[in-house]
Structure 1
Amino acid sequence: MIHKSSIIKRLIVLVFVLVSAHSMAQQDPQYTHYMFNTLSVNPAYAGQRETLSVVGIHRSQWVGIDGAPQTQSLGIHSPLRNERIGLGLNIVSDALGPAKETFVDANFSYTIPLNANDLKLSFGVKGGLHILETDWSKGRFQNPDVVFSDNINRTSPMVGAGLYLHTRKWYFGAAVPNFLQTDHYDDYIESVATERMNFYLIGGYVFNLSETTEFKPAFLVKGVSGAPIIADVSANFWFQKKLTAGLAWRWDDSVSALAGFQVTPGMFVGYSYDMTTTGLNNYNSGTHEITLRFEVKRLGRILSPRFF
């Protein structure tokens, strides 16, 4: 027999998970390391690292809660020879409860110099596929309702666009990852729903504090009709172009500690830990995110690590 207090505890956890999932309902996958994964936010960023760049991210959210989000992302992008055109590929796998969503998209950017002070404007477009799969045998879906009688496997097209204004010291971008309606799994209603358009704003500025230390505040704002705005603010220091350390805050959700190390000019490793600031904090041991970035020296050019 299950003790009454155990039942009450499970119900409390369930309520917090549903409320937290509802606050992110119809939002794309989120990252604490968004400042190192800009291609996933804005297609106009393709090629802006000025070399072949490969970024992989693994995110385990709300560790200790069954069915909590698990996200893997792989982004590859590079400029072409004339450096005005950039190409990229982004692959994301996002699992939540009984559902798994896969995003595969190709990115194209074109950059226009605006003045002699290195101010540039990049235009980007993306196109790809969104795959939704459900397995109702997972979790608490032991329900005779016909809604859960058949698993789902749906593929939908995606078309998005973005703008990216930038110099060597700062950047500002706006993007819509997908203009088309697609189906996604909504954990709040425990069913499939139609996803609305997401809107992204991203920006950052690099301050030179000394010859060896740089400071970069950055932000990411995500909005979608019918759900609360999600705002991320971060502040990272970069020491000797080797070590990064900083803090981040997600509005009404979590605070995070970030660290990273430039192992070689072509290899960067980063880690972040998120601590939930809602009542859900009592039922999980936090969120972990690991980032790996590999970059290749271009012929005739020295590979110099950059902050963004």
Structure 2
Amino acid sequence: MKKLLPLLLILFGSTTFVFGQQDKMFTQYLNYPSAINPAYVGSRGATQILGIARRQWVGIDGAPRSSAVSVNTPISFYNMGVGLTVETDKLGPEKNTNFGADFSYRLRLTHSTFLNLGLKAGLAHYKVDLRNAHAINPGDPLLQDNIDGDWIPNFGVGAYLYSDRYFVGLSIPRLIQTDVEGGDLANSTLDRNKLHYFLMAGYLMDVNPFLKLKPSMLLKATQGSRLSYDATLMAIFIDRLWLGASYRNEDSVAAIVQFNVTNQLKLGYSYDFATSKLSGRSDGSHEISLSYDIAFKSKKLKSPRYF
């Protein structure tokens, strides 16, 4: 097994901890849009239950692992949508847990075009297991006690314009900028939350009765960082088998496969090949997703769903 990034170990020996892990990035972001845009909840027209897990940079000890369980549903009578999410992230000895609630309000612009406006609220908890960390100097007094950070509130906003053929979303999922303090450890900062701006868009094209193409992209702007983007192209065969590829600038290339077992049950998998300096040090990243749309008797589930 390759060792954890040396930089992380060096940071454990100082009086200030600064972790660069901010909002997580899933390759299958179109299967979990509410993670970055609260306005998405309710837009599917059915109650959706979703689970997604990502293991990043396989072969490196302490590499990031992320998972989430989410449920969202429309409240059609009030033109609203609501959602609940539990997310966990692990990076070496650091563990983050997030609880979130999303709300959207739907405006009908035309017969088939809608605009959702969304709000996100949540709490995040940061913890660092220093006692079991593989430190260069295990006798350092700063490493004898674990760090149990405070609960940090968060609010976010978003807008989501969509129809049966396209979507455009703009969001800021984290509006509150705070320092996550290290509890009793003097002068310690676990993380500094930064503003993230997301713009996503996609379009559905009919090639023939058996094949559709769905290009999409996601732009991410973060304070103090360069613009990041994901460009994805999915080919949809007979509305069941989805095959595609994605490119994230200066980071990775991914292969994606998705299978609609039924009109309600969907299984997805992606594998990322690193194109950064980690390309020779890791065995790539794995990600799997599973979702189910609940169709109530009083509602007709649109079949199939492309967004």
TM-score (ref. length: structure 1)? 0.87
Does residue 1:119 correspond to 2:113, yes or no? Answer: yes
Which amino acid is 1:78 matched to?
T
**Distance verdict in 2 for CA 1:296–1:134, change over 3 Å:** same
Following superposition, the deviation at residue 140 of structure 1 comes to 3.1
**Distance verdict in 2 for CA 1:149–1:28, change over 3 Å:** same
Tell me, yes or no, if the aligned pair for 1:237 and 1:245 is still in contact at 8 Å. Answer: yes
Give the Cα–Cα distance (whole angstroms) in 2 for the partners of residues 97 and 55 of structure 1. Answer: 26
Match of 2:129 among 135, 155, 165: 135
Following superposition, the deviation at residue 152 of structure 1 comes to 2.0
Which amino acid is 2:242 matched to?
T
Deviation per residue, 1:34-59 (Å, 9 max, x gap): 01111111000010110000111010
Match of 1:14 among 6, 24, 27: 6
Does residue 1:82 correspond to 2:77, yes or no? Answer: yes
Query: Partner residue of 1:217?
Result: 215
Give the Cα–Cα distance (whole angstroms) in 2 for the partners of residues 132 and 15 of structure 1. Answer: 20
Match of 1:161 among 157, 162, 177: 157
Query: Partner residue of 1:63?
Result: 58
Matches within 5 A, 1:139-288: 139-141=133-135, 142-143=137-138, 147-153=142-148, 154-183=150-179, 192-288=190-286
Q: What is the number of equivalent residue pairs in this alignment?
A: 290
Alignment RMSD (CA, Å): 2.4
Does residue 1:29 correspond to 2:29, yes or no? Answer: no
Which amino acid is 2:169 matched to?
G
| Worse overlay, 57-66 or 83-92 | 83-92
Secondary structure in structure 1 of the residue aligned to 2:76: coil
Match of 1:51 among 40, 46, 52: 46
Following superposition, the deviation at residue 146 of structure 1 comes to 5.4
Give the Cα–Cα distance (whole angstroms) in 2 for the partners of residues 173 and 291 of structure 1. Answer: 21
Tell me, yes or no, if the aligned pair for 1:56 and 1:74 is still in contact at 8 Å. Answer: yes
**Distance verdict in 2 for CA 1:16–1:213, change over 3 Å:** farther
Secondary structure in structure 2 of the residue aligned to 1:39: helix
Query: Partner residue of 1:295?
Result: 293
Tell me, yes or no, if the aligned pair for 1:27 and 1:224 is still in contact at 8 Å. Answer: no
**Distance verdict in 2 for CA 1:67–1:242, change over 3 Å:** same
Secondary structure in structure 1 of the residue aligned to 2:174: coil
Give the Cα–Cα distance (whole angstroms) in 1 for the partners of residues 24 and 175 of structure 2. Answer: 16
Give the Cα–Cα distance (whole angstroms) in 1 for the partners of residues 27 and 45 of structure 2. Answer: 24
Following superposition, the deviation at residue 227 of structure 1 comes to 2.3
Which amino acid is 2:130 matched to?
W
TM-score (ref. length: structure 2)? 0.87
Give the Cα–Cα distance (whole angstroms) in 1 for the partners of residues 83 and 146 of structure 2. Answer: 32
Give the Cα–Cα distance (whole angstroms) in 2 for the partners of residues 17 and 299 of structure 1. Answer: 55
Query: Partner residue of 1:304?
Result: 303
Secondary structure in structure 2 of the residue aligned to 1:180: coil
**Distance verdict in 2 for CA 1:17–1:35, change over 3 Å:** farther
Which amino acid is 1:176 matched to?
I
Deviation per residue, 1:6-42 (Å, 9 max, x gap): xxx969x636999xxxxx9253011000011111110
Unpaired stretches in structure 2, ≥5 consecutive residues: 11-18, 182-187
Secondary structure in structure 1 of the residue aligned to 2:68: strand
Give the Cα–Cα distance (whole angstroms) in 1 for the partners of residues 249 and 9 of structure 2. Answer: 17
Following superposition, the deviation at residue 228 of structure 1 comes to 2.7
Give the Cα–Cα distance (whole angstroms) in 2 for the partners of residues 151 and 284 of structure 1. Answer: 28
Fraction of identical pairs, as percent: 33
Query: Partner residue of 1:6?
Result: none
Tell me, yes or no, if the aligned pair for 2:46 and 2:301 is still in contact at 8 Å. Answer: no
